[in-house]
Amino acid sequence: QKEVEQDPGPLSVPEGAIVSLNCTYSNSAFQYFMWYRQYSRKGPELLMYTYSSGNKEDGRFTAQVDKSSKYISLFIRDSQPSDSATYLCAMFAGNMLTFGGGTRLMVKP
């Protein structure tokens, strides 16, 4: 079993839809949780960064962490074609940084 599991997709949604991206993890030592967006042929860019359980909102993006269930989510409201990319969850504890495999999202106009 991988330490971080993420559905690879692709996930295809119509423009304006609410998107839910998820990751589960097995290592309870993970303390910090991040979501990255990666466009094709580009390096990942940090979208959201959370530490504690609960929700964190930034514009159209909401990151949710449930440490008791070892489950994190990224919600995208009013999705746009420009949101089409691969979304990677990542988490770390100490010097151990682990990424999910990424979910490919396609938002169709």
Task: Identify which of residues 17 and 22 has a Cβ nearer to other proteins in the complex.
Answer: 22
DSSP 20-59: EEEEEE--TT--EEEEEEE-TTS--EEEEEE-SSEEEEET
SS3 label, residue 34: strand
Task: Identify which of residues 41 and 59 has a Cβ nearer to other proteins in the complex.
Answer: 41
Residue from 52, 57, 97, 108 touching other proteins (CB under 8 A): that is 97
Q: What is the DSSP letter of 15?
A: T
Q: Is 45 in the site for other proteins (CB under 8 A)?
A: yes
Residues binding other proteins (CB under 8 A): 32, 34, 36, 41-46, 49, 51, 88, 92, 95, 97, 99-102
